[in-house]
Amino acid sequence: MYPAPDLSRLLLPRSVAIVGASSNPDSISGRPFKLLRRFGYQGAIYLVNPTRSEIDGHPCWPDVASLPETPDVVLIGIRADRVEAVIDQAVARGVPFGIIFSSGFAESDDAQAQRRLVEKAASGGMRLLGPNCQGLVNLADRVPLSFSASLDTDRTESGPVAYVSQSGAFGFASYAMAADQGVGFRYVVTTGNQADLDVIDFGRHFAADPEVGLLVLYLEGLSRGEAFLDLLEEASRRDLPVAVLKAGRSATAQAAARSHTAALTGDQASWDAVMRQYRVLAIDDAEDLVDLGRVFSRPVVPGGNRVAILTTSGGGGIMMADQCDDQGLAVEPFSDALQAKIAPYLPSFGSTRNPVDMTAQVINDPEGFPACLEAVLESDETDLVVVVISMITGDAGRKMASDLARAARGAKKPVLCCWMINDEQGGAFLEYLRRHHVPLFQSPRRCARALGALYRWSTRRRQPRCLTEGLTSYLDRFPEKLTEYDAKRLLALHGVPVTKERLCASLDEALAAADEIGFPLALKVMSPDILHKTEARIVALRLRDREELQNAYGRLLERAVLHDPKASILGVLVQEMVEGGLECMIGMRRDPSFGPMVAVGLGGIYVEVLKDLSLRHAPLTEEMALEMIGELKGYPLLKGVRGEPGRDVTALAGAVAAVSRMACAESDLLELDVNPLFVLPEGRGVLAADALVIRRS
């Protein structure tokens, strides 16, 4: 595992130097000093400006070399061409950390200048954040090392959310939006170009902090995929929720990401698979950051997916029920006993079933709402509680807010509120609930989505990464370009069953092989220069006797020469025809970020047209492979439908796991396609009938 750096002195420095400090408190180079004073930073502040003797009564020094002590952190907000000299001085002084706000490096194609900064810093043991970033803020200890205007506010309360963003502007803007809506943050870090310290370094530091309850990452790309997986596994072991907003899915977005932070974006399907596999909450908008921050800041883990809905509006309750159903949450009618507990507090035109329509008349009984809440919170028929309130105002609104906050405070089930009211009428109630940490929404859809995310995260099993020690590589035994025959021999060495077959150099050898294997047979020309044999028409299937084999043999060789006169012909493969199997496929490709990714699906039209695939990061256990197979839309075909026999799903899972181990053992393996892999009736196994291997040249 990549060793995590100690970032304690960066996040809580004893002293800070600001290089390029300005007397304009609203400029990029003036705001860091203003923010440090506004937050009441208790450490020493050193202003570096060779043209000023003081700023606002605070002395200035001409350069880092002349400072009276070595600061823990140097903030650098000057022109790009002057940054290198500052790094030289900081290294000479033994400064441990530098934050470079300045832009004009890798994001503007000056990778060499950025590389020099890192090399110079590393020579003195100095670690860098940035360049092209907006710095960080430690809200728990009130240490702002940033110029972001979003920190120039009266917001004071911290919370358990740690947020690391590759984008400075988006990171601090989305933080401010979430904080304004009641989400409490412990840290906010923007990493910019990540020339040295990156999202993973900060993520691992925060994952080890017991006060962090939710880790949120905004990513545009990733260069250290394995280290990222280490972080996710570390967080999962601690049961720390990790939410990732991955930008750069489209081709346009990918081009923008390269110019913005010089980041490389990976394949989205791989990202989706990795996030599912490692218990990551995938988010796709700044609103999701707000909503997950609400429910995960102080999460109570639900025991199931049964939702109790209490509402003052019949329509609002029905809408919430629909949205919960969309999220896989169950809104089930209550038992007669539970309805009997609720009924005394409802008017005759209300409903006790679930959703419980208390109607707006509930405000006329001071005991009605708290009694209904107590009934559903104590019931073993419910796992989560959502309160939907319409335009309840005045003293009644204040009473409902107070009752709800009191009930949520000690509840052993998640309690959320969706209060559909404008800020003018309900601002005081909404602020009260936020202050008392009740997850608050004004949209049923967003409320249900957040609740669904909480439930799915709490039930997603941790899947530890499999051990890869002791795996053997065989690729060195094979030529640079592998034929189908070579590919299946490689598969067999890794434990994947393949068809009976012989590579023949003459017709006589082919006839002898046919007598040995038995008809019907398949005949295929083997050439490392013709990978797609069907398109070249050099495959003959279901040959029934020696005569058909003789006729096909010469015809296929002629077609191979016509298709590519320069192709090297290694022989003709005589192969058994598999009867009674269902066509499936297993694929593998090496993702640039995460390494080997393994896919399984039904073969033929199901993979080509319907794209019915399940994808995971390798290696996999057979249990994990079974889970993948169960996700397929075509899974019922494997289990057997309309009198068809069930297929050997266990053997298919074994083949998927074997391919995943092969992918880890063979570091030069770039792509593998086993298609078709015939899954035979239950108990009879699987057979790979064709395979394509592409290795590193």
Q: Residue 605 corresponds to which tokens in the numbers above?
A: 């039209």
Which residue has better confidence, 260 or 361? Answer: 361
Tell me, what's the pLDDT at 263? 36
Angle between helices 484-493 and 649-665 (to 10 degrees): 100
Nearest to 283 by CA among 214, 186, 218, 339: 218
Could you give the C-alpha distances from 688 to 241, 485, 575, 619, 634, in angstroms and in order? Answer: 40, 11, 11, 20, 19
DSSP-H helix ranges across 528-680? 546-563, 605-608, 622-630, 635-639, 649-665
Q: Sketch the domain layout of the chain as residue ranges.
A: 8-296, 307-459, 500-576, 582-695
Superfamily of structural domain 582-695: ATP-grasp fold, B domain (3.30.470.20)
Question: Mind giving me the DSSP string for 335-366?
Answer: PHHHHHHHGGGS-TTSB-SSSEE--GGGGG-T
CA 685 – CA 60 distance, rounded (Å)? 78
CATH 3.90.1150.10 fits 500-576, yes or no: no
Q: Residue 57 corresponds to which tokens in the numbers above?
A: 């009564």
Question: Mind giving me the DSSP string for 582-596?
Answer: EEEEEEEEEETTTEE
Q: Is the pLDDT of residue 484 over 70?
A: yes
CA 257 – CA 223 distance, rounded (Å)? 13
Could you give the C-alpha distances from 133 to 272, 485, 510, 555, in angstroms and in order? Answer: 27, 53, 67, 65
Could you give the C-alpha distances from 48 to 16, 65, 66, in angstroms and in order? Answer: 11, 10, 9
pTM: 0.89
Q: How confident is the model at residue 2 (pLDDT cuts 50, 70, 90)?
A: low
CA 191 – CA 127 distance, rounded (Å)? 12
Q: What is the mean pLDDT of residues 424-448?
A: 89
Which class does domain 307-459 fall in?
Answer: alpha beta
CATH of domain 8-296: 3.40.50.720
CA 597 – CA 268 distance, rounded (Å)? 12
Q: What is the largest CA-CA distance in the chain?
A: 102
Mean pLDDT check: name the lowest of 119-133, 157-171, 291-305. Answer: 291-305
Average pLDDT, the chain: 92
Strand order in the sheet with 135-138: 143-146, 135-138, 185-190, 161-165, 214-219, 242-246, 280-283
Strand order in the sheet with 127-129: 54-55, 58-61, 44-48, 15-19, 73-76, 97-100, 127-129
In this structure, which amino acid lies at residue 506?
S
User: Which of 147-156, 242-251, 604-613 has the largest mean confidence?
Assistant: 147-156
Q: Please write the tens of the pLDDT for every residue from 247-305.
A: 876 554 445 443 333 333 347 888 889 998 988 999 988 899 999 999 998 778 899 99
Place of tokens 């401010």: 176
8-296 and 307-459 share one fold = yes
Q: Please write the tens of the pLDDT for every residue from 214-224.
A: 999 999 988 89
